[in-house]
Amino acid sequence: MRRTIQVRISRGDSLFVAECLDLPVVTQAATLDELAFNIREAIGLHLDGEDLTALGFSSNPTILATMELEAVA
């Protein structure tokens, strides 16, 4: 049973984008603070009413976000 929901954050042309690796959830925002709020809300809405154990998650999973950074040339 998984205790974390993994999210990858990347920088688009003008917005930050968060893509959940474990669920079909994607959101975007102008700032990282807004993005954190949006991804929590989007995951919460997606899981609302779902049986988390049937999806392979513990009853109170945490969100683990990883941010992709461009390499310095």
Per-residue confidence at 7, pLDDT binned at 50, 70, 90? very high
Distance CA 65, CA 70 (A): 17
Flag whether 73 is in a domain: no
E-strand stretches of the chain: 2-11, 16-20, 26-29, 57-67
Q: Residue 33 maps to which CATH number?
A: 3.30.2390.10
Per-residue confidence at 11, pLDDT binned at 50, 70, 90? very high
pLDDT confidence of residue 10: 95
23-65 pLDDT per residue, tens: 999 999 999 999 999 999 999 999 999 999 999 999 899 999 9
Contact 25, 36 (CB under 8 A): no
Flag whether 56 is in a domain: yes
Flag whether 72 is in a domain: no
Flag whether 52 is in a domain: yes
Task: State the residue range of the domain holding 23.
Answer: 2-67
The total domain count for the chain is: 1
